[in-house]
Structure 1
């Protein structure tokens, strides 16, 4: 199927080097305002993915993100924040990037062009049919992502794709296409900008809604967060104070004893 590669179309703005800083920033901001609306149009597909993930997670399934460059880094960022925020084991949400961990900080030449590597990277994790693979590629044409998705489907896994080119090869091959047309980038082809922002928003929505659906949030509180620093311990104590109507000192003792907000509140009510 033919499609327009919107991520490569010329910017709506030109002669950028002739603009002063305030005008540059204003025009970037004007473009950024379009992103949330583009993401909103994909909510039905994001809903379908979250519901499918929640069903599989309850049975021990996992979520894997695969991507290259900015897209890969955003997947890793989202995955890395799940354990401290929601107390989930690191292996339940995993981000993989073309070129391996070194590519998180430094570009690895031609890594994204290897269509076989993503499945090799996934197989390290002993994939099962309860797992879900989400490919992230602004262009929708990244070989690393397309190859990984194709192999995941062959092995019976549910697949989804996050892309900024509607009708792209990625959108065509996945089970659940999440297509967000944010329009041309401010700097032509620089998909770390609006495309990357839309991906970050979508990933926030997917993982946060999933964690809520599987019971990692109570009310609006992160009751399973890891108490890994003083700020988070203080936040946890305040959650316990609010949940039980007790003093700060009493709440702190409960939290230290039971190790999580959820367990501390449950103990306090028993």
Structure 2
């Protein structure tokens, strides 16, 4: 069965891999990595469809749940973990599950990926509902843990996205949308943490970022919903307010402090000429979309309808 998978095939250019020098190794891996972006690009329509549906689900109170085994599971957990600090998303809004539990993030858990019931059990443990969207991640497209989880998600009525790197992947029969970037054989045969892992990371970046943009977590290309949990992010928040208002660093910092560190509130307070509480009410009325809130305001400070965008 494995011999039929593209990701398990041998790459002719690397058949003498152990005879190459360090520079030759680097150049070969780099040349193969260059193929990944094109493979992901071929899946643009499917990725966009996933973003549209998932963002609608989240806007209605649903959740995005990634699940997978091994590298696939780790990448899903990573993407989920980055949503709260980057977009100030509720930690319960985007969830990452990995076969074998959190221990499997750093240590292989024998047999975890081979049990379809574990995929179902993990989704049950987070109370999967018909309001949610799941992304089953399996490079091979046939991982039992993922297949079992997708079957349960189908029973529940959740929206299902399949992410694999092999054509005719088995998981496609269980999903509403399938994203299949075919990156070809790995330089190190079967080591799907390489090109397949890179493709997976790129797709997950697109999905989570696209969804959060649709939910109003950005202003133009600025991360206005970031959570300033460290000095770097605090400095970034001040810089963003300065960019969006043309205020000096000192003025932007003071404005941000007056708005309890809330970047969106600070920008809207300045441009709409309202109090921080007034800005919060406007944002609430527009479901957190700063651009929409600005367009509905009188904008006495001369902000255009496309400030930041």
- After superposing on structure 2, the runs of 4+ consecutive aligned residues of structure 1 that deviate more than 3 Å are none
CA contact (8 A) 2:154 2:174 kept: no
Structure 2: distance between partners of 1:257 and 1:228: 18
CA contact (8 A) 1:99 1:108 kept: yes
Structure 1: distance between partners of 2:258 and 2:131: 35
Task: Compute the displacement of 1:4 (Å).
Answer: 3.7
Structure 2: distance between partners of 1:181 and 1:187: 16
Q: Secondary structure at the match of 1:94?
A: strand
CA contact (8 A) 1:61 1:130 kept: yes
Q: Point out the structure with max Rg over C-alpha.
A: 2
Match of 2:55 in 1: 54
Structure with more relative contact order (C-alpha pairs < 8 Å, separation 6 or more): 1
Match of 1:267 in 2: 269
Structure 2: distance between partners of 1:178 and 1:32: 19
Is structure 2 residue 7 aligned with structure 1 residue 7?
A: yes
1:233-263 C-alpha deviation (Å, 9 max, x unpaired): 1111111112222221221122123222111
Task: Compute the displacement of 1:142 (Å).
Answer: 0.5
Q: Secondary structure at the match of 2:168?
A: coil
1:9-28 C-alpha deviation (Å, 9 max, x unpaired): 11222111111000011000
Structure 2: distance between partners of 1:120 and 1:256: 45
Q: Secondary structure at the match of 1:81?
A: helix
CA contact (8 A) 1:99 1:111 kept: yes
Match of 2:191 in 1: 190
Is structure 2 residue 168 aligned with structure 1 residue 167?
A: yes
Q: Give unmatched runs, 5+ long, in structure 1.
A: none
Aligned positions of 1:125-164 closer than 5 A = 125-164=126-165
Task: Compute the displacement of 1:212 (Å).
Answer: 0.6
**Mean Cα deviation higher: 29-38 or 171-180:** 171-180
TM-score normalized by the length of structure 1? 0.97
Aligned positions of 1:236-251 closer than 5 A = 236-251=237-252
Structure 2: distance between partners of 1:135 and 1:257: 43
Structure 1: distance between partners of 2:29 and 2:61: 42
Aligned positions of 1:73-112 closer than 5 A = 73-112=74-113
Structure 1: distance between partners of 2:22 and 2:174: 42
CA contact (8 A) 1:171 1:179 kept: no
CA contact (8 A) 1:4 1:165 kept: no
Q: Secondary structure at the match of 1:55?
A: helix
Q: Give unmatched runs, 5+ long, in structure 2.
A: 274-309
CA RMSD, 1 decimal: 1.2
Task: Compute the displacement of 1:55 (Å).
Answer: 1.2
